[in-house]
């Protein structure tokens, strides 16, 4: 898998495939949080995201769950998320 910078996930997603659909956090202003301070927020190209899924498909026999990273992954268009 290809990741830009550090990647975070909740403990409940320990066994999930982590796929970055965004990089950084669209808000990135919470004073208690430094997770994405070094990143400038942007959406990854859909082609790159889909390529990551194809890489994972070749590397892993079975994937039960997928976690979409980074911060604010649901900011993406519904069509992108559906793809």
Q: Is 30 in the site for ligand SF4 (CB under 6 A)?
A: yes
Q: Which is nearer to ligand SF4, 29 or 45 (CB)?
A: 29
By the rule CB under 6 A, 9 interacts with ligand SF4: no
Q: Which H, E and C letters describe 17-72, residue by residue?
A: EEEECEECCCCCCCCCCCCCCCCCCEECCHHHHHHHHHHHHHHCCCCCCEEEECCC
Window of 15-23, 30-38, 50-58, 59-67 that interacts with ligand SF4 by CB under 6 A = 30-38
Q: Does 33 bind ligand SF4 (CB under 6 A)?
A: yes
The answer to whether 73 touches 25, Cβ cutoff 8 Å, is no
Q: Which of 21, 49, 68, 71 binds ligand SF4 (CB under 6 A)?
A: 71
Report the distance separating Cα 58 and Cα 49, nearest Å: 15
Name the site residues for ligand SF4 (rule: CB under 6 A).
25, 27-28, 30, 33, 35-36, 71
């Amino acid at each position: 898998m290809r990741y830009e910078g550090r990647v975070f996930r909740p403990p409940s997603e320990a066994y999930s495939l982590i796929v970055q659909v965004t990089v950084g956090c669209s808000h990135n202003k919470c004073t208690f949080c430094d997770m994405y301070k070094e990143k400038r927020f942007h959406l990854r190209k859909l082609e790159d995201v889909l390529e990551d899924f194809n890489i994972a498909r070749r590397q892993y026999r079975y994937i039960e769950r997928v976690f979409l990273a980074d911060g604010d992954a649901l900011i993406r268009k519904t069509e992108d998320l559906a793809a």
